[in-house]
Amino acid sequence: MTTLTIEQMLHIDRENIWHPYSSLPAAYPAYPVAAAKGVRLTLADGRELIDGMSSWWCALHGYNHPRLNAAIESQLKKMSHVMFGGLTHEPAVKLTKLLIDITPDNITKVFFADSGSVAIEVAIKMALQYWYCSKNKQKTRLLTVRSGYHGDTLAAMSVCDPVTGMHHLFSGVTPEQFFAEAPACRFADTWNESYITDFKSLVEKHHKQIAAVILEPIVQGAGGMRFYSPDYLRRVRQLCDQYDILLILDEIATGFGRTGKLLGCYHAGIRPDIMCLGKSLTGGYMTLAATLCSEKISSRISKGEAGVFMHGPTFMANPLACAVSIASIELLLSSCWQSRVASIESQLAEELSPCKLMEHVEDVRALGAIGVVELKQGVDMATIQPKFVSRGVWVRPFGKLIYLMPPFIIEPNDLRKLTAAVVDIAGEL
């Protein structure tokens, strides 16, 4: 195929390609990227943008990292893929061991999936099959909190916020779940038992039907970038234990250091029954996710009627993805990521603080390598996106939120350009 001009590329893109949460033809143009390195995206027209999104929170080490490139290239010379049914390979085995080592000590089993949404589907299916194998078939529903987001596939949609979670159009089609009020406690708030009242009431009333609770630990991501107290998570774990309910933690966005701890659950010191990982797992190189569980879950399912767990993706445990995941995790663990993330948090908190004085701003907050400016009204993407590009930065707001989740390798001067653009453009709104 001949090389396309920028105009040809944009025309085909606008008329024929569906982007995430977009219409056809596209309401406004996408920006063609020609290359990426470090924290910079190079557009096809030669402009450079400092990336404040880590490509939807997954490119922890930035782009084109030599160690991650080498891991892919080395594995490619051996094999790019092989079916995982009846076969195994060293990258999957090594990655499994590494994931078991960095997760809570009760987590000992790993199921590889294709994406975060699929990992959630697997977790939900795992919980339901566990209770089916326990001869407790009335436990078929899940409990979660409002303002959550867990993905775009059918079961994952059912545990996203039913009003603001982007999937309300599918109500009546997705499984009906239980929703408690979103945690009202901020991350550093002194604990008050009233924060858990609504959640506790639903558990007490419906625990015989509830197979599992599913939560994003500490940070509710795409549902609103809300940070809540570790004490809330501790009380959820206690209630799950008390009423014989499984706990699924969705660490897809919070895993691998983004919140300042290696996993979000480590802020609360709790252990889930099932955990989902994704996004940063491969350092942003390839799609891969994992659903992990305890021996309690795996043994019950394996001894049940089917004798097997009923799931198996075609590209499960892709060797290229596993190899680069190992390299990414080892690179993270061997770096001074904690101090880096702490520095990013301090800089975000300080440099976004002028937005607190703006009348149209509801809140400004920072936790780990996450900085959020929450507006009182939603943004117009067609207007605001070009403003950021013209400032030489890539920031992708949504709803009422202008937020930053930069790669951990970002230097203070580059982060300062991102925060300055956010403050200036928020001020113009």
- Give the residues across from 291 on adjacent strands: 111, 276
Query: Strand, helix or coil at 133?
Result: helix
Residue type at 120 in one-letter notation: I
DSSP helix/strand/coil, 171: coil
Backbone angles phi, psi at 123, to 5 degrees: -60, -45
> CB–CB of 365/227 below 8 Å?
yes
Q: Which residues 6+ apart lie within 8 Å of 20 measured at CB?
A: none
The single residue listed with the structure tokens 């944009």 is 10
Catalytic residue numbers read 21, 149, 250, 279
Measured distance CA(224)–CA(374) in Å, rounded: 9
Supply 261's token pair. 């701890």
Q: Give the Cα separation of 156 and 123 in Å (integer).
A: 10
Contact status, residue 143 vs residue 213, Cβ threshold 8 Å: yes
* CB-count burial class (<10 Å; 0-12, 13-18, 19+) for 159: buried
For the CA atoms of 20, 251, 370, 283, what is the dihedral angle to 10 degrees? -70
Burial 101-132 (b: 16+ CB within 10 A, else e): ebbbeebbbbbbbbbbbbbbbbbbbbbbbbbb
User: Which candidate, 409, 402, 393, places its Cα nearest to that of 365?
Assistant: 402
Q: Are 52 and 418 in contact (CB under 8 A)?
A: yes
Q: How far apart are CA 208 and CA 136, in angstroms?
A: 9
The pair phi, psi for residue 317, each rounded to 5°, is 55, 40
Cα dihedral sign, 417-423-425-426: positive
**What whole-number distance in Å separates Cα of residue 282 and Cα of residue 332?**
11
- d(Cα 113, Cα 290) in Å, to the nearest integer? 5
Other beta carbons less than 10 A from residue 33's beta carbon: 14
- The answer to whether 17 and 10 have CB atoms below 8 angstroms apart is no
